[in-house]
Amino acid sequence: MHGTVQGVGFRMAARREAERLGLAGSVRNRFDGTVEAEAEGATDAVAAFGAWLAHGPDTARVDRVDATSIEARGEAGFAVR
C-alpha cells in the first residue's frame, strides 16, 4: 500500500482484520515507506481483506494498492513483521 501507511497503526489494524477474516500471512513496513501484506485463506476472505487494504484504518490514507497473486505458503497465523 502506498500513501500515509506507516506510523499510523496500519500493520496492527491489518492483523486484526486478517484474523477476523480467518486469514494467515503477514504484514510489514518496507524501507520505501509502503506497507506490504501477504494473505492466504478462503478466496472470499482474501478478497474482503484486499478491499479493506484499499482504505485501511481511519488513521491511514491509502493512495494506491499494487496487488499480485503468489503461491500459498501454508502459513499459520498472521504476523506483523
**Distance separating alpha carbons of residues 79 and 55, to the nearest angstrom:** 20
Q: Considering the candidates 11, 15, 30, 64, report the single residue annotated as catalytic.
A: 11
Q: Considering the candidates 20, 28, 29, 61, report the single residue annotated as catalytic.
A: 29
64 is catalytic: no
Bridge partners for 80 per DSSP: 27
Please give the backbone phi and psi of residue 3, each rounded to the nearest 5 degrees, phi first.
130, -150
29 is catalytic: yes
List active site positions.
11, 29
